[in-house]
Structure 1
Amino acid sequence: MSLNNTARFKAVITTLGLLLIWEIVGRFDLVAGGALPGLSEILIRLWADRADYPQHILATLYGSGLGFVFGNVLGVGAGILFVLSPVALRLSRGVNIAIFALPPIAIAPILTLTLSGMTPRVVLATLGVYFVTMTATVIGLSQADSRAVDVVRAYGGGKWAIMRLVQLRGALPSILSGFRVAAPNAVLGAILAEFGGGGRWGLGAYLLGSLGRAEPDRLWGIGLVATLIAGVSYLLFALLSRRFLGASRAVTMNAAIPEARNVGQSFLARALTTLGAFILPFVLWWVFIRALSVPDMIAKTPLGVVDYLFFSPAAHNAQTRLWQAVVETLPITFIGMAAGLAVAFLLAISTRLFPRVLNTFMPIALVTQTMPLVALTPLLVLLLGRGTSLTLWVTISVTFFPAFVTLAQGIALVPRSARDVPRAYGASAWQEMRMVTIPASLPYLFAATRLTVPRALLGVMIAQWLATGKGLGNLLNQSRGYMDYGMIWTVAVLSVILSVVFYQVVVMVERRVLKRLGMQTAE
């Protein structure tokens, strides 16, 4: 039996063992008095509810499918534009960071208020897809074979000829890897919009209607179906990559937005470009409101949010509520983010020191990666209750896997020759890891941190929204019930600002640390 077949066999055995443990624990109600049903019980309930699923699944697939197509068209088109025009990349930098840092839960109520029908689902799915595909496209196009580029230029080819004949072909593996990561994001976006009030049909609406019925087998069934859809969409593009391009193992994307160099630009030009990048998100926000002709009572422009929070008669009350929610949200966000990074770091190191750990861990990790947050959170409520432990578990579960994959990739790319030097002098595996591998992987550690920043805030807000009754997530939920549109827009804007600020702080620290160590930043 070959080494690969042996690894696959062990992975299958491990998965079957975990399923058997799940069945025993569920059948004997060993977790929270039956909050974790046995797998056979969940499957029996799925069969009993089989008539409910087709319309819900079709609605989710329709919204996520359209969002996936639109997001990828926009992402690939924007990636091509950014490579051809560095000025466009610099001007769009603020918009790109805002889209990356945008917690979907914050914008879902706004889309439901301002758009109708299936449109909120499609838009949220599109936003979830765009950044991943755009980043993958820019990275792929920027890594074109310089020799092939020189050949095209020698025969008189311009930018478009180089793009068509060299760059797009060379970028195809990277773009397909981006599609693979974007597919589950589209499903998550559609379900969040459904859960936020986006229609009668859809797995999110079905999950919302099933909460509070004391039927954990149904909730687990809905969660598994949502996970299956996201997982199949992920595996579909993994198979396409393997079929047409060979093995392509990337499962997450670097959170860095590729940087366009300011070569040849004057100080005034750089200042104007930076100012434009800062202003453009607010311009697009204003255009979005005006283009839809939404009443001012519902849709708030940037000036409307400022007026609501600082100059309206209810400003003081709004500030008090908002500050209290922020105080309840930020500490648990930092703790969850740190815990998620710590788990990811320890697991990434373990995969090098103890390779068998990876085979045991990956089935669980892939489930947590593909299971939509709104499906995962109610299940954790059944197991953990509605306290702080729930929020921490949700935050860790949604942050550790992308961070783990990024860190494991960085550790795997450390040159073998560099690792052999300390081993030649008698260093142990851990000493080699501490002296060589970990320092060499610092750029990937910072990339992992950038990935976890918005996901940590998203996880905390979803837990607060669905379960704990605290913080920004709960304030958003209450504001929807009270039709306090000003607060809905304020929470959405503040959550984006917080994520962007955290992201930029990580970038600044990364540049300073890596510059001091003589390393090149990821941007």
Structure 2
Amino acid sequence: MLAAWEIVGRFELIANGAFPAPTAILSGLWADSDLYWRHISASVRSASLGFVIGNVIAVLMAVLFVQFPATERLMSGINITLFAMPLIAVVPVLVLAFDGSTPQVVLAAVAVYYPTMSSMLLGLRNVDDRLVDAIRGFGGGSLAILRRVRLRAALPALTIGLRTAAPAAVLGSLLAEFGSGSRWGLGTFLLGSLGAGDPARLWGIGLVATGIAGVGYGVFALVAKVTTRQVASETLATSPVPASGSREEHPVTRFLYALASLIVALGAWQLLLAVIDLNPILTRSPVGVVRFLFTEDGSGEARARLVTALGETLPAVFWGLAAGLVAAFVFAVVLTLLPSVGRSVLPFALISQTMPLVAFTPLIALVFGRGAWTTIVVTISVTFFPSFVTIAQGLAMTPRRAVDVVQIYGGSKLTVLRLVSVPSAVPYLLAAARLAAPRALLGVMVAEWLATGRGLGNLLNESRGRLDFGMIWSVAAVSVVVAIALYRVFVAIDQMVMKRYLGG
């Protein structure tokens, strides 16, 4: 593989040298080694601090949600926002709000919160009921159950969440460096190198960022393996435990909880503005965004620019999401039918998971240009891995008895896949779409910001350059709303299909 890469790079067989040889990349790394160490140390410091802060908050919130389930319902608006929010949309807002490396730390913390919180919450809930009953039988309360059972049972799930969070922290730090104008950091280094006409340097920065994220992923993957082996057999539940709120509720109750969660989310926005105490010229409250788009002078023009940009972004999101899901499904099928072939390609899939998106996008633009293909490839790269893992898990959990029936009647592997594996994996296919939809919006906006010069990503970048603070806040708010809407649409589709799928 490396030999083929060297030949392609040496003879400039792809995009006139946009795919440099490994030796050229290594030579550039050595020549710029003094610069690299300064930039690496700045990025690692910000990402590490954000990683710690975000994960501490995530663990504490998961414990709160388990001990007081109503708080999870009230915080659902904020949790879904943090999950679905395109990180790049809030970079200019953070730069307005904070100085120094604080935007990098905050964005890294935001990036790691949801994967760790959701994993920790699942681990805290998924415990052996027999142990819970035993502690209650001896007079223990919820705190005793938390201390003696839940926290121990949550360790494997927590380490899995940390494994996902490590690359996310690096991505958050690099994205903030991109928009903050800070002197040091791999994101700053990458931004300053975009116009230098040196593909080897861009690839070097991208590979270094990927290596840092990969080390974090690998460390926690090893920890997850050890803790799962030590803890799982002792404390994990013997059957899945439904999440809080999965029981049937009166529609009025659901509506009131949804309304309360929205009020909490909007209140958190308003409270944050009050806490950071910024100049009113630089900030927009929820009401301020509405005024900017509908009642202030020039609101019609602002609205038209926003709608035009949204019209350019949404088709790319749907095409990229569809392409990513198809690629993930095909690869999961290949892994099921031809395990050896699938395993040989799996390392490249892992690279797509650990390579920070902001470092990957300029490299894709070098190869595919600054058009729609770059947007599609970037979107595939951010949606592929989580979709693949989810779909492959569904295909792997095919009921053995159903497989035996098909094989008894002479069915091939392909027949088993068509008649049993794919139908049984429908819930996982829907879950993959639900998880990938907000990531698709992030991928498209990053490509628009760095490569294509279109859509919401470009409008956000232009507004930052023009110091158009009203538009910055408006694009950020609309991007979050669109991401949440995409997530909710797929949740509704999931619920509708599953109701029919389960015969309900």
Normalised-by-shorter TM-score class: over 0.9
Shift of 1:275: 1.5
Residues 37 and 216, structure 1, Cα contact 8 Å, conserved in 2: yes
Alignment partner of 1:434 out of 412, 415, 418 = 418
Shift of 1:24: 1.4
Match of 2:326 in 1: 342
SS in 2 for 1:196: helix
Residues 174 and 185, structure 2, Cα contact 8 Å, conserved in 1: yes
Residues 262 and 270, structure 1, Cα contact 8 Å, conserved in 2: no
* Partner Cα separation in structure 2 for residue 21 and residue 388 of structure 1: 28
Shift of 1:498: 0.6
Shift of 1:452: 1.0
Match of 1:373 in 2: 357
Residue 501, structure 1, aligned to residue 502, structure 2 = no
Residues 117 and 198, structure 1, Cα contact 8 Å, conserved in 2: no
Alignment partner of 1:239 out of 222, 225, 229 = 222
Match of 1:170 in 2: 153
* Partner Cα separation in structure 1 for residue 93 and residue 394 of structure 2: 38
Q: Could you tell me which amino acid in structure 1 is paired with residue 48 of structure 2?
A: G
Over the aligned positions, Cα root-mean-square deviation in angstroms equals 1.7
SS in 1 for 2:182: coil
* Partner Cα separation in structure 2 for residue 449 and residue 347 of structure 1: 15
Residues 341 and 400, structure 1, Cα contact 8 Å, conserved in 2: yes
Which stretch shows the higher mean deviation, 429-438 or 164-173?
A: 429-438
**Matched residue count:** 495
Q: Could you tell me which amino acid in structure 2 is paired with residue 223 of structure 1?
A: G
Shift of 1:20: 2.0
Match of 1:454 in 2: 438
Shift of 1:268: 6.1
Aligned positions of 1:356-371 closer than 5 A: 356-371=340-355
Residues 345 and 407, structure 1, Cα contact 8 Å, conserved in 2: yes
Match of 2:132 in 1: 149
Shift of 1:264: 10
Match of 1:415 in 2: 399
Alignment partner of 2:261 out of 265, 271, 277 = 277
Residues 69 and 244, structure 2, Cα contact 8 Å, conserved in 1: yes
Shift of 1:259: 4.4
TM-score using structure 2 length:
0.95
Residue 293, structure 1, aligned to residue 277, structure 2 = yes
* Partner Cα separation in structure 2 for residue 190 and residue 303 of structure 1: 30
Shift of 1:389: 0.8
Deviation digits for residues 207-227 of structure 1, max 9, x if unmatched? 011111110001100000000
Match of 2:314 in 1: 330
- Gaps in structure 2 of 5+ consecutive residues: 233-241
* Partner Cα separation in structure 2 for residue 398 and residue 431 of structure 1: 31
Q: Could you tell me which amino acid in structure 2 is paired with residue 140 of structure 1?
A: G
Aligned positions of 1:79-228 closer than 5 A: 79-228=62-211
Residues 50 and 106, structure 2, Cα contact 8 Å, conserved in 1: yes
* Partner Cα separation in structure 2 for residue 100 and residue 512 of structure 1: 22
Residues 335 and 343, structure 2, Cα contact 8 Å, conserved in 1: no
Alignment partner of 1:393 out of 365, 370, 377 = 377
* Partner Cα separation in structure 2 for residue 407 and residue 466 of structure 1: 30
Shift of 1:368: 1.3
Residues 1:37 and 1:326: Cα distance change in structure 2 (over 3 Å): same
Q: Could you tell me which amino acid in structure 1 is paired with residue 313 of structure 2?
A: T
Shift of 1:274: 2.4
Which stretch shows the higher mean deviation, 89-98 or 262-271?
A: 262-271
Shift of 1:415: 2.6
Residue 37, structure 1, aligned to residue 5, structure 2 = no
Q: Could you tell me which amino acid in structure 1 is paired with residue 439 of structure 2?
A: R
SS in 2 for 1:36: coil
Shift of 1:118: 1.2
Shift of 1:119: 1.0
SS in 2 for 1:296: coil
- Gaps in structure 1 of 5+ consecutive residues: 1-17, 250-257
Match of 2:237 in 1: none
Match of 1:11 in 2: none
* Partner Cα separation in structure 1 for residue 18 and residue 249 of structure 2: 61
Deviation digits for residues 112-168 of structure 1, max 9, x if unmatched? 111111111111001110000110011111110111111111110000100110111
Q: Could you tell me which amino acid in structure 1 is paired with residue 145 of structure 2?
A: I
Deviation digits for residues 410-457 of structure 1, max 9, x if unmatched? 111223222221111122211211111111111111111112111111
SS in 1 for 2:34: coil
Q: Could you tell me which amino acid in structure 2 is paired with residue 215 of structure 1?
A: D
* Partner Cα separation in structure 2 for residue 268 and residue 508 of structure 1: 18
Residues 1:65 and 1:519: Cα distance change in structure 2 (over 3 Å): farther
Shift of 1:267: 6.8
SS in 1 for 2:154: helix
SS in 2 for 1:374: helix
TM-score using structure 1 length:
0.92
Q: Could you tell me which amino acid in structure 2 is paired with residue 147 of structure 1?
A: R
Residues 1:163 and 1:519: Cα distance change in structure 2 (over 3 Å): farther
Match of 1:12 in 2: none
Residue 229, structure 1, aligned to residue 212, structure 2 = yes
Residues 120 and 198, structure 1, Cα contact 8 Å, conserved in 2: no
SS in 2 for 1:199: coil
Alignment partner of 1:486 out of 470, 489, 499 = 470
* Partner Cα separation in structure 2 for residue 198 and residue 175 of structure 1: 34
Residues 214 and 354, structure 2, Cα contact 8 Å, conserved in 1: yes
Match of 1:58 in 2: 41
Percent identity between matched residues is 50
SS in 1 for 2:502: coil
Residues 1:27 and 1:262: Cα distance change in structure 2 (over 3 Å): closer
SS in 1 for 2:16: coil
Match of 1:48 in 2: 31
Q: Could you tell me which amino acid in structure 2 is paired with residue 369 of structure 1?
A: Q
Q: Could you tell me which amino acid in structure 2 is paired with residue 59 of structure 1?
A: A
Residues 1:336 and 1:55: Cα distance change in structure 2 (over 3 Å): same
Deviation digits for residues 75-132 of structure 1, max 9, x if unmatched? 1111111111110011011111111000010001100111111111111001110000
* Partner Cα separation in structure 1 for residue 503 and residue 348 of structure 2: 34
